[in-house]
Chain A
């Protein structure tokens, strides 16, 4: 029952974003698999430029690997996280698909307005958007506060600066060991040359 419900939702969103169809229609029949590590979601571009869940035996033309940790960062609109998305297969399909998805919006107010009218629907929509923004802000604050606590009060997390210093120290140690090894080699060679035959 999940497939019909998901397909119906995707088609509804595609219908609200009619501008996307000419972009997607060029990939009609192609399958793109979203791999979130814990679950995979194969999606198919249909002949009318809308989207559906792909069938049981569909082979993906492109696979986009997004591990859960990356997905959270993407949801938090972390620009650096985009660079870490790994794509396999048809990169044009994956790139164009990502562009389209990024700009698609679900006009929930439009859907709710059919039941309760335009003005209450808009007010509910504004309130929901404001709530989501506030929750996101509070969650970011909480995450930053926890990170700071674990770095300063109970140091279980290392700061970026500390990791960099540690890495530099390891590099220095490696080069010192190399130098020491070479010196020891030279000394042993010298000792062999000076030893009586």
Chain B
């Protein structure tokens, strides 16, 4: 019955069961050059966006944080500085290659951050566990975003916050320049730096298919979050959504 269900993979329409494999293949391919590409693509701004997300989180020493689709572990590292020795950060990713990069970095940095491979739509954690859940540049790739958001709500404690950092709808006057950058320059950079043009074409397409700021806000409210608000960063290239479990 469910085999007939379809979803989007960039601009392609694929069977729901196929999307996870295709996204997996993209990230297996780019895992080693992921951070270099992020720096080149965003001119280093992704670090600023992530730091802002941590600033907005309200996480304090002793808190428990879940980093979903954490990949190379940038955010886990920043959060573990906030939670201190009394708190805990758990790094998760569905993709083994990306998680291996993050896990190795945490070990190299001497941080006690457990790495868990799991699907955000079926989180292997009990209800009311975390003070903060963050998903940065990961929700876009999930097949059932509504399911994933409900799972995140489930594992949060009452008063806990969900932060979603994701590409979004850019300020209208900049749309043409942004389109030219995304569909011409981005695949070219992917080809030259990561030797993978197709993955970066998927990145541009998946950004366009992702819900805009207001839609994602509504989706978070539908998943049971309250006081949902968002911040447009770099003219809306990226938006940081924050919701509270009440």
Binds B, one of A53-61, A88-96, A164-172: A53-61
Cross-chain contact of B230 among A47, A49, A56 (Cβ < 8 A): A56
Chain B 212-238 interface residues, beta-carbon cutoff 8 Å to A: 213, 217, 227, 229-234
Residue of A nearest to B61 (CB): A48
Binds B, one of A2-10, A70-78, A179-187: A2-10
Residue of B nearest to A57 (CB): B229
Binds A, one of B50-58, B100-108, B140-148: B50-58
**B166: min CB distance to chain A, Å:** 15
Q: Judge whether B58 and A28 touch: CB under 8 Å.
A: yes
Interface centre among A4, A11, A50, A52 (most CB of B within 10 A): A4
Q: Judge whether A46 and B231 touch: CB under 8 Å.
A: no
A67 at the binding interface (Cβ < 8 Å): no
Cross-chain contact of A8 among B49, B51, B58, B227 (Cβ < 8 A): B51
Residue of B nearest to A10 (CB): B55
Count the A-B residue pairs with Cβ separation under 8 angstroms: how many? 52
Q: Judge whether B59 and A3 touch: CB under 8 Å.
A: no
Residues of B contacting A1 in the complex (Cβ-Cβ under 8 angstroms): 48, 233-234
Q: Judge whether B48 and A4 touch: CB under 8 Å.
A: yes
B22 at the binding interface (Cβ < 8 Å): no
Residues of A contacting B51 in the complex (Cβ-Cβ under 8 angstroms): 4, 8
Bound: A140/B137 CA distance, A: 53
Cross-chain contact of A29 among B52, B227, B232 (Cβ < 8 A): B227
B207 at the binding interface (Cβ < 8 Å): no
**A167: min CB distance to chain B, Å:** 49
B154 at the binding interface (Cβ < 8 Å): no
Bound: A16/B244 CA distance, A: 27
Residues of B contacting A50 in the complex (Cβ-Cβ under 8 angstroms): 58
**B110: min CB distance to chain A, Å:** 23
Q: Judge whether A7 and B56 touch: CB under 8 Å.
A: yes
B159 at the binding interface (Cβ < 8 Å): yes
Q: Judge whether B161 and A47 touch: CB under 8 Å.
A: yes
Q: Judge whether A55 and B242 touch: CB under 8 Å.
A: yes
Residues of A contacting B60 in the complex (Cβ-Cβ under 8 angstroms): 47-49
Chain A 28-52 interface residues, beta-carbon cutoff 8 Å to B: 28-29, 46-50, 52
Residues of B contacting A8 in the complex (Cβ-Cβ under 8 angstroms): 51-52, 55
Q: Give the secondary structure class of B's interface.
A: mixed
Residue of B nearest to A47 (CB): B58
Residues of B contacting A55 in the complex (Cβ-Cβ under 8 angstroms): 229-231, 242
Residue-wise interface mask of B (113-144) relative to A, using a CB-CB cutoff of 8 A (1 in contact, 0 not): 00000000000000000000000000000000
Bound: A47/B63 CA distance, A: 11
Residues of B contacting A58 in the complex (Cβ-Cβ under 8 angstroms): 229
Residues of A contacting B56 in the complex (Cβ-Cβ under 8 angstroms): 7, 46, 52
Q: Judge whether B229 and A56 touch: CB under 8 Å.
A: yes
Bound: A4/B242 CA distance, A: 15
Q: Judge whether A11 and B55 touch: CB under 8 Å.
A: yes
**A158: min CB distance to chain B, Å:** 49
Given A3-B231, A4-B48, A47-B161, A57-B217 contact (CB < 8 Å): yes
**B87: min CB distance to chain A, Å:** 12
**B174: min CB distance to chain A, Å:** 14
Residues of A contacting B234 in the complex (Cβ-Cβ under 8 angstroms): 1
Residues of B contacting A29 in the complex (Cβ-Cβ under 8 angstroms): 227, 244
Bound: A47/B59 CA distance, A: 7
Q: Judge whether A56 and B231 touch: CB under 8 Å.
A: yes
Residues of A contacting B161 in the complex (Cβ-Cβ under 8 angstroms): 47
Q: Judge whether B230 and A57 touch: CB under 8 Å.
A: yes
Given A55-B242, A57-B217, A3-B58 contact (CB < 8 Å): no
Bound: A8/B55 CA distance, A: 7
Residues of B contacting A47 in the complex (Cβ-Cβ under 8 angstroms): 58-60, 159, 161
Bound: A54/B228 CA distance, A: 11
Given A11-B55, A48-B58, A56-B213, A4-B230 contact (CB < 8 Å): no
Chain B 149-193 interface residues, beta-carbon cutoff 8 Å to A: 159, 161
Q: Name 5 A/B residue pairs within 8 A (Cβ), A-sorted.
A: A1-B48, A3-B233, A7-B52, A46-B57, A56-B230
Which residues of B come within 8 Å of A, CB atoms?
48-49, 51-52, 55-60, 159, 161, 213, 217, 227, 229-234, 242, 244
